[in-house]
Structure 1
Amino acid sequence: MIVTNLFRSARRLSAAALLALGTALPVQAETLADALVSAYRNAGLIDKNAAALRAADEDVAQALAALRPIIDYTASITRTWQFPNDRTVNTATGPQRIENTAETSTSIGISANLLLWDGGATRLRGDVARELVLATRQGLINAEQQVLLNGVLAYLGVREAIAFVNLRQSNVQLISEQLRAAQDRFEVGEVTRTDVAVAEAALASARSNLALARGDLEQARADFVRFVGRQPGQLQDVSAPAPAAGSLDAAQRVARRSHPLIRQQMRLVTVGDLNVLRAEAAMKPSISANARVSVADEFGEQASVGVTMTGPIYRGGQLSSLYRQAVANRDETRADLHITTDDVLQRVAQAWAQLTVSRARIQASQLEVRAATLAFRSVQEEVRFGTRTTLDVLDAEQDLQDARANLISSRIAEIRASYQLLSSMGLLTVEHLNLPVVTYDPSAYYNAVKTAPVRKVSPQGEKLDLLLKSLGKN
């Protein structure tokens, strides 16, 4: 009777442990999408990169401002004192004393300067600024991918840790029942004291593993708080997303087109080309128009209009050095593009291999669990006839626990590899995952500042103030 009850308990606990990842959860349980939305909203990395993007947007406005008239005013007031060395002078009427004098002069003027031509250097500066904006936008997308991937890994880490805690708890319960059965059989003389000691040692080991699993769960929860921004609730089961590519070659082709790091580096290559043209333009003369109007006490009103041309004659080789440096920097960005592309494609290949291996491991682990379950039940039956010992039962039970642990890890590894593959392809974004979250719009701020509006003066400036307030940055 004792062995029969033990068999029924083991079968019941085995089913509970095997379904640790797929237990029916209440409707209010948290989903992976919920965690990713929270991760995005609480990510400082998104705010950091969004701020960097706004700073890059301002470079476009500053480049445009350089093509507009520059108007300055000057105002001065001067007090002048005179202290003659010779205090007396001879006049027809005799010597006269010269007193100290003081005069006050004022002037006010307005000057305007407009760049007419500089070989395209200023225009190229604007082109560089716009390319850097596009490159920085890709950096924001890459940050978004990092945030979402960290959220996925944190969610799966908690799920895996909970599954292992459940597995270790069922193991402790099962071995506890085995220990009670061994003690009962020892009381009636069916087994020796050694069988009881073996069961006691196995129970101590199971409790140790349970404590370790609980420690891993606490660490996983801490990671969840770090990347998601709050404590995890009751987490729903999650399955691997639908494959985004049918083969490794197809996945790598998508990565070449979509990965933000590759697209960012392509923009930087364009920036390198433009900087070479800027270095060439710096060797050309520039022409500007200027005008000035001033009013002064001693001179009255003055006005002037002119055109000025300036250009380099000799600067000690500085301009040639700047050109060579621009060429070298351009070559470096081209090499960086090659390196970045290779790195991205390698990560795609690694994620694809991990996904393939995890799926194969799931199939093997399922077979292993079935075989270990059958072996465990057979050993338990053989114990009834005295052909097996308690140690044999514990060994078989340990093999079953190892098989279940492998199955849990394999299932989690498949989901983890699926999302890592999406990230390596450049598809782990809010848009691709269709998450219900309002993302940062990179074009809103750019459109507000690209014409270089003056704050609180122009209508565009007033709109910019409202936008800044909505971002919480004013």
Structure 2
Amino acid sequence: MKNAQRALLLAFGLAASPAQAETLNGALLRAYNNSPVINSSRAGVRALDEKVPQALSGMRPRASAGAFLGAQQNRNVQRQVDTDLNDPAYRADTKSVQSGTSAPRSANFTVEQPVFDGFKTQNATRMAETNVFAGRERLRLTEQRVLFNAASAYMNVLRDTAALKLQENNVAVLTEQLRQTRERYNYGQITLTDIAQAEARLAAGQSLVGQARAALEASVGVYRQTIGVDPKKLAPGAAVDRLLPKTREEVERIAESEHPVILAALHDADAADLDIKVLESDFMPRFSIVGNVFTQTDISGIYNRNIGAYVGGRLNVPLYEGGMTSSQVREAKEVAGQRKLDVDVARADVIALVRANWGALQAAKTQMAAAQTQIAAAERALYGVREEAKAGQRTTLDILNAQQELLNARIGLIYAQRERVVASYAVLAAMGRLSGETLRLGETEYDPAIHFDQVKDLWGGTTTPGAGR
């Protein structure tokens, strides 16, 4: 096997033991569990879960207690005029003053139980649950993007590592070619022009090594950003064709029913319809039962106390609110129409994405087959040019060109292998099935329903439950 071919196999991990190398599934599992992008989206869904108990609180009782304590200075002045009916001239004027301090105080406890709120709580709860479902679909979309980016980063490191090794091997070949060219010049077989051509090609090869090394460093940086660790020894990545249907039409059918962008848009449309009902409830009467227990001491005078309790019904009938609710309902209807159109936009976007990724996958397959054929032909051509050069029928430039064509063909195969794997993941993502469960990454699947079940019926408490897994 030629040195360049061995370098390509080593770069793609084909010579590494699976026990020693990081696998593509292992890298995807790291990204799935540790990605701050995914964890942020999960926290966002957990925050959406809290909208459900918030909506349910609309029909739950409300209790409040109040108290008043103060200081009061009292001064009571009384004036009395006495007269005698037998003596009209008699008149006695008396005045008395009473003063003192008191501490007026009161306490009350009130409970209100809503009985009817125009079905606002019922519709608000349904809307909150629908928004939770939409949030879960967006979480799935985020997971898909992270997993796809992780697969791309993994394959980019493999590609750029192999390309760097090929470029380094090419510099070694060109160095040897320059040595042989100088020897032939010393024997008078060629001219200084041939040496200059070999030197120029070697310099160009060294420049390409620098570019390949820079590209690899950039890919390593993206790998760490996406997966969370630096790449070590990576095992070869494989396409996921086993998870893909045989035809594009079947991929489109699955995408229309399972892609998270479409499902999230459908949930958004349902939530917009429910929002109209929530706002329309403000036109309807509300009724609740109110109970109050109170005590009052020294409120209206010194040395008096009042203790009481009452239970009653409170009815509120809206008549006119200045047009605010009417405008909000009209606005909600327009938003609901927009959300329904967004569903059509989402479907069109997904179908376009499926066709683009499916075409890229087929092109990558063709490119791989063509690159393999090109490599075989370029190897034969290079061998023939070298043999003809020994007989004086070919020049040094012919050899250099043949070597460059072979190098280009091998690099083309590396890029085709990367595109072949990444395109298969892109099609799986376009279907809406790029997930840890589908790829069987492990038993650490995050379940957002666990946190939802933990909080939906809570009546109080400020401690957040643990993240559901």
Give 1:371 deviation, angstroms: 1.2
Q: Secondary structure at the match of 2:326?
A: helix
User: Paired residue for 2:255?
Assistant: 255
CA contact (8 A) 2:133 2:264 kept: yes
Other-structure match for 1:178? 177
1:452 corresponds to which residue?
458
Other-structure match for 2:347: 341
SS at match of 1:291: strand
| Structure 1 match to 2:40 | 48
Map residues 287-436 of structure 1 onto 2, 5 A cutoff.
287-297=287-297, 298-436=304-442
Measured at CA, do residues 18 and 368 of structure 1 come closer, stay the same or move farther in structure 2, by a change above 3 Å?
A: farther
The alpha carbon displacement at 1:455 in A equals: 2.9
Give the letter for the 2:296 counterpart: A
Match of 1:273 in 2: 273
Q: Note the residue ranges of structure 2 that are not aligned, 5 or more in a row.
A: 83-91, 298-303
Kindly provide the CA deviation profile for residues 135-194 of structure 1, in whole angstroms up to 9, marking residues without a partner as x: 111111111111111111110110110010111011111111111100111111111111
2:15 to 20, 24, 46: 24
What TM-score results when the alignment is normalised by the length of structure 2? 0.91
Q: Give the Cα separation in 2 of the matches to 1:277 and 1:94.
A: 74
Corresponding residue for residue 78 of structure 1 = 70
Q: Is the 8 A contact 2:21 2:232 kept in 1?
A: yes
- Separation in 2, partners of 1:257, 1:38: 29
Flag the 1:205–1:133 CA change in 2: closer, same or farther, 3 A.
same
Matched to 2:140, the amino acid is I
Rate the CA distance shift 1:437–1:175 in 2: closer, same or farther, 3 A. farther
Matched with 2:285 is 285
Q: In the TM superposition, what whole-angstrom CA distance separates every residue of 1:285-343 from its partner, at most 9, and x where no partner exists?
A: 11111111111214421111111211211122222111111101101111111111111
Residue 66 in structure 1 maps to residue 65 in structure 2: no
- d(CA) in 2 for partners of 1:91, 1:226: 98
Instruction: Name the residue aligned to 2:195.
Output: 196
Percent sequence identity is: 31
Alignment of 1:198-217 (within 5 A): 198-217=197-216
Tell me the residue number matched to 2:117.
118
Q: CA RMSD in A?
A: 2.2
**Cα distance in 1, alignment partners of residues 318 and 460 from structure 2:** 34
Give CA deviations for 1:193-227 in whole Å, capped at 9, x if unaligned: 11111111111100100111001000000001100
Show CA shifts across 1:346-393 (max 9, x none).
111111010011111111111111111111110000011011111110
Conserved? CA contact 1:88–1:98, under 8 Å = yes
Tell me if structure 1 keeps the 8 A contact 2:13–2:21.
no
Aligned mates of 1:35, 1:144 — CA distance in 2: 14
Gaps of 5+ in 1: 1-10, 457-463
By how many angstroms is 1:98 displaced?
Answer: 4.9
Contact 1:151 1:228 in 2 (8 A): yes
- Residue 35 of structure 1 corresponds to which residue in structure 2? 27
Aligned residue-pair number:
451
The normalised TM-score by structure 1 is: 0.90
- Superposition deviation, residue 17 in structure 1: 4.5
